[in-house]
Amino acid sequence: MTQYMISLYEREAEYATMTPEAWGAVLEAHGAFAQAVADLGGTITGGGVLQPTTTATSIRGGEITDGPFVESKEAFGGFYLIEARDLDHALQIAKLTPTPFGGVEVRPLMDVNAGPAQ
């Protein structure tokens, strides 16, 4: 199995106005996603949800600034680390990721012991 990162990008403003009931529905959707990954023969090995971009601090060229590294309408808000048979399997899993206000990006993790990426 190969490891992949599913990066979640969404419009943060949509979450800022969300009701507790709507937030609960999002959490339930992520629980269902975890079950779907297992049902498809994949494994979630890690992940996390990030605080809003207003809490971000960036460092570029040694200079520290408040805010995210890249300004965008859709912000990097969380990720899943998964194990999948191949890219097609990872994409099948990623298509089920709950992102009601955005989308996802899928990338394989690099085996640093194998040398630079080709």
pLDDT tens profile 83-100: 999 999 999 999 999 999
Domain boundaries, the chain: 2-111
Mean pLDDT value of segment 102-113: 95
Helix%, strand%, coil% for the chain, nearest 5:
35, 35, 30
The architecture that CATH gives domain 2-111 is 2-Layer Sandwich (3.30)
Whole-number pLDDT of residue 118: 67
Residue pair 82/93 in contact by the 8 Å Cβ criterion: yes
